[in-house]
Amino acid sequence: MAPYTVEVRWDSRRFHIEFNQDEFQNATVGDLKRKCQLVTDIDPLHMKLLAYGAIMKNDGASLGVYGVRPGSIVRLMGSPKGHQTHGEKAVLSSLEGIHNKLSKELVPDINDYEHKVKSYLSDPNRDTKHHRKLADYGVYLGEQLMKILFELDGIMCADFDKARQERKLAVNMAQSLLDRVDQIKGLLL
């Protein structure tokens, strides 16, 4: 091991970052992150370094502030940008499927349900069996919307701003549709 080497552990991998003597004495956390980027392709802004259990937050601080000396072991946490993008794409794809189900299946069903309830209420010869079917169908639509809300609740958006915004829009849409179904069911009471 060279006298001015820091061992970096990233997941199950290990690699050594070398410094010359002058470089090491003046090296900052930011310098170490940039050297790690050359090996891992992780953006320094999305990288966490830990030394002796402490997160090295200040990129301008010297390595010595965190007790890093030649031969020290530093833990790196982070994922390459392509890996993060893939995760966000998967979340966005899942959200798109939910949005399609809401807009292409449930919205037309709810519109049809509202039309049937209003037609039923305007009919002077109301059938109790038909009333029961309409009430049951309202419960079914409510359950479908609750299922979607639970599905949305299980989607983790982490640091994906776009996915978080899309999830919020889908939750608001599902909630407003659920309120609408409850309002339509209320007409049958």
**CATH (domain of 145):** 1.20.58.120
DSSP per-residue letters across 92-109 = HHHHHHHHHIIIIIIHHH
pLDDT band per the 50, 70, 90 thresholds, residue 79: confident
The residue ranking higher by pLDDT, 89 or 55, is 55
pTM, entire model: 0.56
Does 51 share its domain with 126? no
Distances in Å between the alpha carbon of 71 and those of 5, 6, 52? 6, 5, 13
Does 52 share its domain with 23? yes
Does 60 share its domain with 102? no
Structure tokens at 56: 């090295």
32 is in which domain, residue-wise? 5-78
Q: Which amino acid is at 103?
A: S
Does 119 share its domain with 182? yes
pLDDT in the model for residue 82: 54
Distances in Å between the alpha carbon of 34 and those of 38, 41, 133? 7, 10, 66
pLDDT in the model for residue 27: 92
The residue ranking higher by pLDDT, 40 or 2, is 40
pLDDT > 50? residue 1: no
**Which of 28, 50, 78 delimits the end of a domain?**
78
pLDDT band per the 50, 70, 90 thresholds, residue 21: confident
Q: To the nearest whole number, what is the mean pLDDT of the chain?
A: 89
The DSSP symbol for 28 reads: B
Does 40 share its domain with 99? no
Does 92 share its domain with 117? yes
Does 67 share its domain with 90? no
**Which of 41, 60, 78 delimits the end of a domain?**
78
User: Do 121 and 187 form a contact (C-beta atoms < 8 A)?
Assistant: yes
**Cα–Cα nearest to 6, from 69, 77, 76:** 69
User: pLDDT tens digits for 112-127?
Assistant: 999 999 999 999 988 8
Domain count, the chain: 2
Does 163 share its domain with 150? yes
Does 108 share its domain with 57? no
pLDDT > 60? residue 84: no
**Which of 78, 110, 127 delimits the end of a domain?**
78
Place of tokens 């502030």: 65
pLDDT in the model for residue 54: 87
Does 65 share its domain with 91? no
Q: List the CATH number of the domain containing 26.
A: 3.10.20.90
